[in-house]
Chains A and B, each alone.
Chain A
Amino acid sequence: METAFTPFTSFGGGLAIGLGAVLLMLGLGRIFGATGIMSGAVFITSRAELSWRLALIAGMVLAPVTLFFVTGQMPVVNVPVSPVMIVIGGVIVGLGASLGSGCTSGHGVCGLSRLSVRSLVAVPTFMVTAAITVFIIRHVFGA
């Protein structure tokens, strides 16, 4: 399905994502990596490490409703793939992001801006494999 080209709202959203990452560095001195934040809330090492992660996650989850109260619209979530694909993709995302120590937020936003050598390798790697995967699914298998 076609989606509308939204350069301005996407850029604006990107600015807010960056601001969230900078605020976390300013307040807690941490990288805003969703994989690390989520796995730290799953594999609990201490109460102090858990509590700020849960607060951060709660704030993230409250975002769509907050936006709904301001704009009257929920953000768009169109899922063009089957539940089986979501499960398979999700398991691979969890395995890959924990093996590779980061995802779009940790390596992408935070790592690239720090000019981390590991992130400069990780980001092109996952961008290319994602594009190849979409090509194979859509244009080889024609799903």
Chain B
Amino acid sequence: MKLFYALITGLVFGIGISLSGMMDPAKVLNFFDLAGTWDPSLAFVMGGALIVTFVGYRLVWRRDAPLFEARFQIPTGTAIDKNLVGGSALFGIGWGIAGFCPGAAIPALGTGRWEVALFLIAVTAGFYLRRLLAPMQTAGAAT
């Protein structure tokens, strides 16, 4: 039941991504191209998502526990460190180069486009690269 619930949850999120335009790199890159072919559509994606999560999270948190787990696992870190700022800066650079982000690319895999698979393999390589760098860095704090 928990796994079926997770599947449906992923499907709802993925349909949202599909409708929103987030899985279209042409649209994503245009959102950032203020000096060129600017398309502000994706601001409406974030607006819609934040309205639902801002209200929805607070309603959910009135419960003592989630439906299928013993407790909520919410990140509690507040440290503004080099990893957070540098990592986020890098993430934006990569997003601006490729036009895909992970949350959009996973559902986009379902369109069967090979570019999406290539991107996700590269992202996985990036995860491994971060592991290689790990001894030099403090362990990744939570969101």
Contacts and interface: CB of A to CB of B under 8 A. Distances in A.
Contacts of A14: 16, 20, 44-52
A43 B91 contact: no
Interface residues of A, number: 117
Interface in B94-118: 94-104, 106-111, 113, 115-116, 118
B59 to A, nearest CB: 8
B49 A28 contact: no
B132 to A, nearest CB: 10
Nearest to A14: B48
Interface in A110-136: 110-114, 116-119, 121-123, 125-135
Contacts of A92: 90-91, 93-94, 97, 126
A38 to B, nearest CB: 6
B123 to A, nearest CB: 4
Interface of B: 2-27, 29-30, 32-37, 39-42, 44-54, 56-57, 59-61, 63, 65-69, 71-75, 77-80, 83-104, 106-111, 113, 115-116, 118-127, 129-131, 133, 137, 140-143
Interface of A: 1-39, 42-43, 51-53, 55-67, 74-81, 83, 85-114, 116-119, 121-123, 125-135, 137-139
8 contacts: A5-B41, A18-B16, A27-B66, A58-B10, A64-B108, A79-B99, A138-B33, A139-B35
